[in-house]
Amino acid sequence: MALTADAINDVQIVAISAMPEARAILMAAQGAGEGRLTYAVRQSDRDGPAAIDVRLGGVRNLDLPARLSDDLIYGDIRNTVVMSDPRSAIPELWRVDEATVVASDLAYEVKEWRTPDLREQGRLPSELATSFVGYDVIATYLDTYTGFKAVAFDRRNPEPGQAHRIYAIAGTQVFVNTDFRDWAAGLTMARSHMVSTAALRLIADAAAYVSDRENGGEVFITGQSQGAVTAQGVGFLLQEYLGATRDTRGHHLVHVVSWGAVGSLQPIMTLIERQRDGLGRDFPAPFEHHWAATSADHAKAMGVWSRLAQVWSELDDAAIEPHVGTVAANMRIVGYFYEIDPFARAGTFLGTSLVLPTAFVLPADCEQLVTELMFQTRAGKVGITLEAHFLKGYQRAVERGALAVARPAETGKWDWVTDLLPLGDIIGKAWLAEIYRDTVLSTDTNWRACTAAGTWRTDRNRHCRQDSWPGCTREPIATGGEADGGDIGARWCLIEPPPEREVVEAAALPAR
């Protein structure tokens, strides 16, 4: 790829490509681009185009950062077969890939709300639920512990054989509706999101749909940034679960489409290793007991998890990484990233990563960058670099037909990111637990559930059966004890299994 700026507000990209779909993608982009995009295909031989010239007009005059472009290693241009996977019944997969950008953006809009029984669930505002042209919202997913949020879209009136659903997973909410659970889960490299109760429920739902040969269809799991890491993990777990069910009828193809192609091999291997070490989902055991008693989705999620655990119990340590690769090969996994996206340097991507030219991120005319909108200042090269990771930058690329000139490429990896994973994992898990104690576990609803269960624990007393016991109630009890003659009330509570149940559960654990 060569990049030259011929004139102010005019950028030309020359890309070598063998993608057969290039002409169709560019024609679609040209129709939506208000005349600002022109292109030419240079024919060379019967195998397809040898090069594509794309000219963007009306772009802002901004300096393009180039430092991160130096560590790209381009792959075989014929590897763009991921854009037309022969295992898929959908002839123009790039159209669905482009649609996943919209879906990923809407996933950030899933809000928490309380049902009549005061349980928290996710909901996409009605005005947004109808904004995704051609798709209907069929489910939303929310995990109150990890902050995992996702939404499922069903293709409306698909062509025969082309039925599909898009499961979009939100990444880290930074600027608007900041959720520190996302930040904490991010320190675990999204592993907490991958194995959350809501994510496992999503896997069960997607598995039922993709396994239905008559009324089901293909599944696309997508996300951006941390959502891209989670999407790879959830896609892997879905494919693993489908294999574990050993349904001889087969199933439709599972796709993962990520934006900002951070790799997830390392956290996936870690979650397998932790399960094999007897740590389950690696959430605190008291929390798991509590969810078993209070969460309507916990049993369904653990049904999925037990199937996965059975598969992993049959592996030895040396077989984990090859096993992940084998499972991933049964899926279509594609990740799009800008050549200057810094986050693409972290982790090992499971599928084929395709690089987009930096020029496509340039805003048009007076359009502002995300960093300029948020901080009300000119962002310069730093702003362009961040825009190359934000969804706004990827939306701009799709609108301009950037997928037509995407090329297989790998980046040099930042080993220091994976080196910090063990420390980040400890901090992230501790942070998640503390947020949960301060929010859900301290609510009136949760306290009523604890006392109704008959056996609970608090931050003040390990075993509670009566709320008159010291440290077993939220309100101080006058006992003539501490400070001014009263016992300090507990901050949070957790439902505990009776002691006899703990003995039975301990005896049932597999020996290792």
pLDDT in tens, 448-483: 999 999 899 999 999 999 888 888 988 765 555 444
In a domain, 147, yes or no: yes
pLDDT at 120 over 70: no
Structural contact between residues 253 and 88, judged by C-beta atoms closer than 8 angstroms = yes
pLDDT at 6 over 50: no
Beta pairing partners, 88: none
Residues spanned by the domain of 279: 84-337
Question: What pLDDT, on a 0 to 100 scale, did the predictor assign at position 163?
Answer: 94
Question: What pLDDT, on a 0 to 100 scale, did the predictor assign at position 58?
Answer: 80
- How many other CB atoms sit within 10 Å of the CB of residue 391? 22
pLDDT at 175 over 80: no
- For the chain, the average pLDDT equals 83
Helices 197-210, 226-245: crossing angle, 10 deg rounding: 50
Q: Confidence band (pLDDT; 50, 70, 90) for 416?
A: low
- How many other CB atoms sit within 10 Å of the CB of residue 86? 5
Instruction: Using the 3D structure, point to which of 337, 372, 397 is the last residue of a domain.
Output: 337
In a domain, 141, yes or no: yes
Residue 352: C-alpha distances to residues 329, 345, 355, 512 (Å): 10, 14, 10, 37
In a domain, 72, yes or no: no
In a domain, 368, yes or no: no
Of 181-185, 349-353, 384-388, the one with minimum mean pLDDT is 384-388
In a domain, 11, yes or no: no
Instruction: Using the 3D structure, point to which of 318, 337, 356 is the last residue of a domain.
Output: 337
More confidently predicted of 30 and 269: 269
**Which two three-digit tokens encode residue 130?**
């109808």
Q: Cα(197)–Cα(139) distance, rounded to whole angstroms? A: 15
**H helix or E strand, kind and range, residue 434:** helix 421-438
pLDDT at 68 over 70: no
How far does Cα 389 stand from its chain's mean position?
14
pLDDT at 282 over 80: yes
In a domain, 429, yes or no: no
Q: Confidence band (pLDDT; 50, 70, 90) for 4?
A: very low
For the stretch 375-387, pLDDT in tens is: 666 666 777 777 7
Number of domains comprising the chain: 2
User: Which residue blocks in 319-420 are alpha helix, DSSP H?
Assistant: 320-329, 370-375, 380-387, 391-399, 415-419
Residue recorded with tokens 């039922």: 208
Question: What pLDDT, on a 0 to 100 scale, did the predictor assign at position 492?
Answer: 95
Structural contact between residues 188 and 429, judged by C-beta atoms closer than 8 angstroms = yes
Of 22-31, 284-293, 384-393, the one with minimum mean pLDDT is 384-393
* Strand 456-458 to 493-495 pairing: antiparallel
Amino acid at 365: D
Q: Confidence band (pLDDT; 50, 70, 90) for 153?
A: very high
**Mean pLDDT computed over 131-137:** 90
**Mean pLDDT computed over 488-498:** 87
More confidently predicted of 94 and 18: 94
Closest CA to 358 of 341, 383, 335: 341
Question: What pLDDT, on a 0 to 100 scale, did the predictor assign at position 205?
Answer: 96
In a domain, 93, yes or no: yes
